[in-house]
């Protein structure tokens, strides 16, 4: 229970269905940052309040040390290497469905439930991961690296709802104190702080360098190439004229490349290369060639039809339509209809 409405309602629904429910708050981060107080105490209090309302036991698992070494350090290393990582995916893989699942089951849990907008459904391979009914809130993209062997012990009650409004209305009907609590924003484990401010806090000021446009002209100066991501428009401080978009960066040379041309070939891709593959069934790599697939190259982007060619721990995805701003470090997640098959890291 994170202290939000989704996990609160999940607990209420499961109790109503007859499960013996225990609420658990995961303490992953507690450090305050300049100008931003970490919300963990409020979230913990909100989760505990709901547990009291429901009359269920409530515990806290402290994973802060492991979270720093596994998720935060991974994120910092990735940015330093010029990549744009997704810490939510790493958190789900290593913490929520790794450490948390292991400790909960060790403590006697038969199932682990979360407030994710996704579904675990029975199929011919056992249990599979599927998109949520509510496509606007679907979080299956963030879950593709979960160990498929535990899916038959994972419950996601919110995945069946058609809208977030339905979730809030039912939470209000049950009298849950979090029914109207706003959704969290910003970095997943910290709160409402921008990624640039977070990186500055831990990596310090970065050397400035040139911003070069599609004609090879120096059009400005940046304050650290690690702060920029492919497709970015805002925050470049290149005043006047047409807007600029980031098309690439070279962290070794400390250069950021931009364009004013939305049709610039450096902004569009029809081929996606991924590595560090992860599949949600051991049979998927063998069967994937004969299936009608689609891929999502970033959260909230539309799925695009594709063909996959697997080469050991990497794959090449040939897309039916071009995608914009393909970003190294992000994940490409492969679907068969609504089912998540797996994916890998874009490089």
Task: Report the catalytic residues.
Answer: 91, 188
Q: Is 188 helix (H, G, I), strand (E, B) or coil?
A: coil
Residues 6+ apart with CB under 8 A from 320: 304, 305, 306
Of 335, 288, 276, the closest CA to residue 129 belongs to 335
Q: Is 108 helix (H, G, I), strand (E, B) or coil?
A: coil
Helix axes 195-203, 73-80, angle to 10 degrees: 90
Helices and strands (DSSP H and E) totals, the chain = 9, 16
Helix axes 164-173, 5-16, angle to 10 degrees: 60
Element spanning 250, H or E = strand 245-250
Of 282, 283, 286, 279, the closest CA to residue 335 belongs to 279
In terms of phi and psi (left: phi > 0; alpha: psi -120 to 50; beta: otherwise), the region of 121 is beta
DSSP string, 138-200: --GGGGTTS-GGGGGGEE-GGGG-S-HHHHHHHHHHTT-TTTTPPPP-SBTTTBS--HHHHHH
User: What does R_g of the chain's alpha carbons equal in angstroms?
Assistant: 21
- Count CA within 13 A, CB hemisphere, residue 207: 9
Q: Do 14 and 54 touch, CB atoms closer than 8 A?
A: no
d(CA 242, CA 30): 42
């Amino acid at each position: 229970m994170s202290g939000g409405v989704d996990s609160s309602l999940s607990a209420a629904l499961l109790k109503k269905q007859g499960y013996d429910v225990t609420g658990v708050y995961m303490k992953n981060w507690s450090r305050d940052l300049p100008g931003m107080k970490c919300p963990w105490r409020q979230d913990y209090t909100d989760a505990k309040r709901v547990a009291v309302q429901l009359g269920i036991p409530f515990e806290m698992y402290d994973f802060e040390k492991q979270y720093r070494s596994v998720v935060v350090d991974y994120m910092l290393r990735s940015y330093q290497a010029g990549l744009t990582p997704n810490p939510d995916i790493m958190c789900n893989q290593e913490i929520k469905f790794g450490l948390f699942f292991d400790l909960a089951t060790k403590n006697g849990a038969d199932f682990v439930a979360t407030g994710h907008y996704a579904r675990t459904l029975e199929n011919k391979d056992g249990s599979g991961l599927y998109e949520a009914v509510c496509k606007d809130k679907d979080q299956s993209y963030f879950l593709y690296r979960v160990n498929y062997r535990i899916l038959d012990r994972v419950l996601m009650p919110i995945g069946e709802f058609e809208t977030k409004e339905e979730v809030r209305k039912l939470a209000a009907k049950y009298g849950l104190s979090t029914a109207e609590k706003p959704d969290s924003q910003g970095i997943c484990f910290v709160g409402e702080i921008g990624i640039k401010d977070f990186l500055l806090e831990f990596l310090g000021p970065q050397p400035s360098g040139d911003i070069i446009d599609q004609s090879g002209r120096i059009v400005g100066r940046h304050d650290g190439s690690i702060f920029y991501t492919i497709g970015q428009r805002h925050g470049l401080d290149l005043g006047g004229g047409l807007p600029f978009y980031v098309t690439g960066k070279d962290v070794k040379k400390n250069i950021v490349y931009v364009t004013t041309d939305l049709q610039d070939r450096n902004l569009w891709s029809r081929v996606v290369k991924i590595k560090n593959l992860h599949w949600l069934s051991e049979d998927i790599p063998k069967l994937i060639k004969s299936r009608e697939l689609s891929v999502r190259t970033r959260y909230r982007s539309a799925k695009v039809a594709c063909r996959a060619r697997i080469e050991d721990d990497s794959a090449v995805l040939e897309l039916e339509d071009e995608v914009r701003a393909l970003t190294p470090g992000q994940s490409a997640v492969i679907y068969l209809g609504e089912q998540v098959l797996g994916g890998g890291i874009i490089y």
